[in-house]
Structure 1
C-alpha cells in the first residue's frame, strides 16, 4: 500500500487522533453495557449477518477474511462464532495497543498485522472488511489507495465490505462521511449491496431509557435518521 504510509501526514494525523481518543473520557460513551450501544451492536450484527449470508453463503468455514483496521478484533470474533476458521482470518491495525488486546481476546490462529495491507498477496482473501475506517481518512488520495489495496487483496468473485458513516459529525472534524458516489468510484463492482442502519447516536442516546420499540419504529419509519451504512461490492469473477 503506497498511501497512507507510516510517514505520511495523513497517517500521522490518524495515529494521533486515535491515541487521544483512547485516552479520552469520551470512550465511555461507547461502553459495551450502555443500552444504546447494545442496541446498535445487535442491529449491526443482524444486517451484516444477513448480507454475508446473501453474498457469501451461510457456511463461513472456508472463507478467507481480512479486517482492515480491526481494532481489538471484535468483528473477526463474530465470524468465528458463526463458524469461520480462525486460521483463515487476518486483521490489520495501526494501534499496537489494540492488537495486544485482539490477540489476548481472540481465538488462536488469527493472523494479526501491525500496519498496512502490504502483507497480503493479490487475491488472497474472499472478503476484505473495513469498519468505520474510511470516515477517519480525510485525504481523498489516501481513501483511494486503501480502496485499491482492499480490491487487490480480494480474489475474483470475492467481496469488499464497509461499515461507516452516512453523515458528517459537525462536532468532530476528524470524521468525514462516505458517500454512495464515492463507493461506486472506489470499486468497479459487478454487483453491490447497500443497507442503512442505526439511529443517529444523539437520538439513540436520548431514547436509551424509552421502550425499545420507540427506537425501532423511528429507525424503520424514518430512514434519513439512520446514521450508518453497510456496503458490499462484488469483484468480477
Structure 2
C-alpha cells in the first residue's frame, strides 16, 4: 500500500488540461449537475432526510466548493458543513467563495481533525476514481465510515467505467463500492449521460441529453446512499 497516494494525486491533477470542460456555461455540464441534484433529492426523500439545516455534512474532496454551494442553496446550514480538499489552490478558491462559518481543511483527508461519529452525511463526488491505490482507497473509505454517525450515511457519486483516454483515473464499479463499505446498506441510482455522448448531443438541443439518458447503458455514474446501521 503506497503512503504517497496524496502526492501522486496532486501530480496527476497538475497534468490535467481541462480548459472549460466543467464550466456551467456548457449545456452538457448544467444538464449533468441538475440531473444529479434531482437524483440526490430523490434519495433524500427515500431515506427520510428532510430537516437539512439540522444535519452535519462533510464533503471529502470539495474542490472549488461548487457542491457545498449547492448544498447551501438546498438548505444546509453553513456552520454544519465541512469541506476537505487536498489541492491548495482549490482549497483557497473554495475558501474565497464559501461562508466563513463553513469549515474547510486543506490537505490529506486522512489527516483531517474529524471526530468519530460526528457527521450525519459524508459526501464524496468523483474522488475514488482519482485514487489508483487500492489500499489508500480502503483507508479513506474506513475513515469516512468512522466519521458517519449510526443512522447516517455516506453519499457517493462516481463513475463506474474506465476512461481509455485518461490513465490517471479509473472507474469504480458497484462491486468495488460495496467492498469499500461492507457494512453499509447501499441504495443506488444510475445517473449521468456518458460525457462524450453528452458533449456531442447537448449543444445541438438540451432535450437530447434527456432523450439519450433514457438508455441505462449510456449512464456512466452511480449516485448512492450508503446507510450506516
Class of the TM-score when normalised by the shorter of the 2 chains: over 0.9
Q: CA contact under 8 A between 2:115 and 2:147: conserved in structure 1?
A: yes
CA contact (8 A) 2:202 2:208 kept: no
What's 2:226 paired with?
A: 233
Give the distance between the partners of 1:215 and 1:99, measured in 2 at CA.
Answer: 32
Q: Does 1:10 align with 2:2?
A: no
Of 82, 88, 91, 2:83 maps to: 91
The answer to whether the 8 Å contact 1:188/1:235 transfers is no
Structure 2: runs of 5+ lacking an equivalent: none
Q: Look up the match of 1:186.
A: 180
Gap regions ≥5 residues in structure 1: none
Structure 1 residue 114: deviation in Å? 1.0
**1:223 alignment partner in structure 2:** 216
Instruction: Report the count of equivalent residues.
Output: 227
Write out aligned runs for 1:66-145 (5 A): 66-115=58-107, 116-117=109-110, 118-145=112-139
1:164/1:228 contact within 8 Å kept: yes
Counterpart of 2:23?
A: 31
Q: Is 142-151 or 201-210 further displaced after alignment?
A: 201-210
- The more displaced of 71-80 and 152-161 is 71-80
User: 3-state SS of the aligned residue for 1:174?
Assistant: coil
Shift of residue 213, structure 1, vs aligned partner: 2.6
- TM-score w.r.t. structure 2 length? 0.94
Q: Is the 8 A contact 1:69 1:131 kept in 2?
A: yes
* Residues 56/159 of structure 1: CA separation in 2 closer, same or farther (3 Å cut): farther
- Structure 1 stretches of at least 4 aligned residues deviating more than 6 Å after TM superposition: none
Take 1:190 and 1:169, find their aligned partners in 2: how far apart are those partners?
27
Query: TM-score, normalising length from structure 1?
Result: 0.91
